[in-house]
Amino acid sequence: MTRLPGLPAEILAIDWGSTPPKRQLCRAVFREGRYVVSPPRPVNEVSALELGAGTLAAFDCPIGIARDYATMAGLGSFRAALGVFGTGRFERFYEFADQAATIAIERPFYPARGLKGVSRGDLRKVLGDAAFAPRVCDRLAGAGPIFWLVGPRQVGRSAACIWRELIAPRLDRVALWPFDGPLAALLAEDRPVIAEMYPAFLLRTLGLAVARKSERAARAACGRALTEKIGADPRLDLTGVRSLLLDGFGASRGGEDPFDATIACIALARLLLDGSMPEPGQDARAVEGWILGLPDAIG
């Protein structure tokens, strides 16, 4: 694969849902001066993902923790935290609490199931303000809380899976953006780079919106607008995904997952090609992290 300064040889945009059918990957490979976007495909096992040198792997889940929680738990950095989660004092970190009595600072994900009677107050009683404290990037992008596992905006199940099964086992072989440095510098190294994305926000960077992502017609309308707007960009080859974009990714509501992965992959490629990928302030580089494409402030 070709590599140019500041550009990844390949982009993997991975929409990681709570069940295997909702886990979709879209890949763009840099060939002959342009990114060639391939049709999305399911990801059956996260640990089997191949991440080579020059790869930017962007996951639709939090990669970082709120500063309030890090302070309460005595964690100085997110990279160090990944090395201890699941071990020692944090041995049960990835075990979702199934009842209020089993919530702890070292076991913050709750509830294991959306059972009757669970309450946000259960989590707040143990973690205090840290229970629902957003990271700065969460507040700017409108993302949900990490540890609360109920509701349409819950992201904790995906985060726990990616942290435990993909990042932690490769911690000494991957670069974590933005914790390990600016993106361009990390892409110049021989390690794959793992970062966080948010498809709904990346769609906005293209100057587009989707009315109801669960509806095929709305996805198709957005896909048509995208192809009309950037389909002629010589730096992007959308041949492999054009029909999917125009079709709305099928009649099933499950089409929103490959839609998200594809839109995110195209948006990331465009930001990188334009040299307009923002970098966060220094405060985000220790524990909270940042979302690809998100500026420090949104007007």
Q: Which two tokens stand for residue 20?
A: 């295997």
Residue 298 has a pLDDT of 55
Burial class (CB in 10 A: 0-12, 13-18, 19+), 176: buried
Q: b vs e for 28-59, b when ≥16 Cβ sit within 10 Å of the residue's Cβ?
A: bbbeeebbbbbebeebeebeebebeebbbbbb
Residue 285 has a pLDDT of 96
Give this prediction's pTM: 0.94
CA dist 12 and 19 (Å) reads: 19
Q: What is the mean pLDDT of each run of 10 residues along the chain (299 residues)?
A: 75 86 93 96 85 95 96 97 97 96 97 84 96 94 91 88 94 97 93 96 94 93 96 95 97 90 98 95 95 79
Give the angle 270-204-275 at the CA atoms, nearest 5°. 30
Instruction: Indicate the residue type of 102.
Output: T
Residue 108 has a pLDDT of 98
In this structure, are residues 142 and 296 in contact, taking their beta carbons and an 8 Å threshold?
A: no
Residue 114 has a pLDDT of 74
Residue 299 has a pLDDT of 44
